[in-house]
Amino acid sequence: MNRPPEDYIVFPLDVPSLDEAMQYVRVLGECVGLFKVGLELFISAGPDIVKAIHDAAGPKVFLDLKLHDIPATVKRAFLAASRLGPRFITIHCDQGDGMLEDVARDNPGGTKILAVSILTSLGPSDLERLGYRPSYVEDVSALVLDRARMAREAGCHGMVCSGQEVARVKQEVGDEMIVVTPGIRPAWTRVPGDDQRRVVTPKEAVQRGADYIVVGRPIRDASNPVEAARKLAGEISTAF
């Protein structure tokens, strides 16, 4: 292992205000590799949240906006967001490779572009209702692999996918593509009313090739978040 285990951990700041977010940043700043800012917090706190995290913890922002609109709008939104200096920005694959290529081609700040394949909250029955063809419904990983190839060819730096697909994605597109894996559930925790369907443990995800794992509630809901983050890092270290 050539990275410290805590570097693999992405902690999502799924809270509604800058003040609440910064409480976690100050406590967990040395225990995790990245802080993920999603739609709720970004809409609530605005761009100031990115600067606040940078000032408190360094360049550790993963801006998870999952940009999805007509290509021209996505391109302008990406450029505006990249000027804030995040390490990663997410973009949905649903608009196809043309839009991804346009964004990747015009990236003066060099922000890492992560393509979102399929949300980990979606299962086969959801894909069927959404009208995906039977081959994808029967094998979700086939759809993920198609989108991984598309993202690589378009010039994206990585992608987001379930831990169940990480190994096949790495085999398909190579180790140079960064893979971020949500839907992580340590074996020592249980999440009531879990909305994640395709879940794996931290050790499984890293062994399969995940470069980063997103872990929220098991840390946030713990009586001692720092202790939980360190326990998670310990589990990751056993993957090697």
Q: Which residues are catalytic?
A: 66
Task: Collect all residues with Cβ–Cβ distance below 8 Å to 133 and sequence separation of at least 6.
Answer: none
DSSP letter assigned to residue 207: H
Q: Are 65 and 89 in contact (CB under 8 A)?
A: yes
Q: Are 148 and 124 in contact (CB under 8 A)?
A: no
Q: C-alpha dihedral over 82, 83, 86, 92, to 10 degrees?
A: -20
The angle subtended at Cα 17 by Cα 13 and Cα 18, nearest 5°, is 80
DSSP H or E stretch at residue 98: helix 97-105
**Dihedral of CA 49/4/214/23: which sign?**
negative
Task: Collect all residues with Cβ–Cβ distance below 8 Å to 82 and sequence separation of at least 6.
Answer: 89, 107, 108, 109, 111
Rounded Cα gap, residues 132 and 147, in angstroms: 14
